[in-house]
Structure formats: structure tokens, C-alpha cells
Amino acid sequence: MYTWILWFHLLSLISWFAVLFYMPRLFVYHAENIDNKGFCDVIKVMELKIYKYIGVPAMWATVLSGFYMAFELGFANNAWLHAKIFLVAILMAYFFSLGIFRKQFLNDECTKSGKFFRAYNEVPTLILMVVVWLVVFKPF
């Protein structure tokens, strides 16, 4: 059973990261074309669909399957796993912040620039690098 959960976890994680990487890119386009109403209307639909219909289920599938595996591995004595879970909590906060920005754009209230979202887009990449390092090397 563990191997099937791991398979599902990896598929969910890839889907979630697709959203984590793509949403800020949509925000870049949105922020840089804020005066083009027709374009922004299309981007708003894209932002909604990728966040709610792909991102939310993928995040919860990743988190729930990850917790199942954590308990199977023995959560109590794995410091590397605690570090990984802490980073996943940061990714969840990042994901929810994307939802906040999405709602701001939906209401035409977001004041962040395309440059901000270009930089913000690097956060999940850096966290992913550390998480993969923790999983592969189990340093603690």
C-alpha cells in the first residue's frame, strides 16, 4: 500500500507544483496588462480554474498522502521529516497567499507589479530544492 500512496503523492506533488510555478506567472501577465480589460478577463478565468480546480485538490492530496507516509515511516524520530513538514507548511502558506492575490486581481485591487511576481515566483523553486535535498540525503 505504501508504494501506491507514494506514487499518488508524487503525482499530486507534481500537479501542485505546476500551480505553484504557473500562478505567479499569470500574475505577472495580469499585472503588466492591467489596462487591457479583455486580456485581464481571460486571465481571471485562467487564475480561477488553475487555483481552485487543480491547485486546491492537488495541495490537499499531496498533504494528506504525505502525512500518511510520515506516519508509516515513524514521524517521531525523523528530524529530516520534521524539517520537510515545516517547509511544506511554508508552501501551503505561499499557496494560500496566491489565493489572496487571485482575489485581489479578481476585484481589480492588486497593486503588486509584474517584477514583484517574477521574484515571488522563485519561492517554491528554492523550497523544492531544499525539500528534495532533505528527502534524498536525510541529513539529520
Helix and strand counts by DSSP (H, E) for the chain: 6, 0
Boundaries of domain holding 30:
2-137
What is the reported pLDDT for 41?
97
pLDDT computed for residue 72 by the predictor: 87
Alpha-carbon span 60 to 89, nearest angstrom:
12
pTM of the predicted model, to two decimals? Answer: 0.93
Residue 90 has pLDDT above 80, yes or no: yes
**pLDDT one-digit tens code per residue, 23-76:** 999 999 999 999 999 999 999 999 999 999 999 999 999 999 999 999 888 877
Kindly state the helix (H) or strand (E) to which residue 31 belongs, with its residue range. Answer: helix 2-32
H helix or E strand, kind and range, residue 82 = helix 79-106
Q: Is the pLDDT of residue 77 over 90?
A: no
Q: Is the pLDDT of residue 22 over 90?
A: yes
> Domain total for the chain?
1
* Dist CA 50 CA 26 (whole Å): 10
